[in-house]
Amino acid sequence: MNDKMINLTAETVPCHTRPIIIDAEKCVGCLRCVNVCQVDVLLPPPNGEKAPVAAYPGECWYCGACVMACGTGAIKLRHPLMNRARFVER
């Protein structure tokens, strides 16, 4: 068995959308949102910070699992404009 330690790193991928808004003041660092994200958009914070990082925002499915898992309300999900429905009475 190989006993070598492998360190993996990830960088934030730039994207014109910001589907996940994290309020660092409200975040307690529980990382439930990181664990529940189905497509690994959220990553644990680097350098001992509390709030997770939305490293791959373009991959977000807008499922809302991270919002529901957050117990403090620190995460907001912003759907793209074309997906926001508004019904107007006729």
The least confident of 7-21, 24-38, 45-59, 72-86 is 7-21
If one counts every other C-beta atom within 10 angstroms of the C-beta of residue 54, the result is 24
Q: Do residues 73 and 30 touch, judged by C-beta distance below 8 A?
A: no
Q: Give residue-wise pLDDT tens across range 1-16.
A: 567 877 766 677 777 7
Q: Give residue-wise pLDDT tens across range 35-72.
A: 999 999 998 888 878 899 888 888 899 999 999 999 99
Q: What structural domains does the chain harbor? A: 20-83 (3.30.70.20)
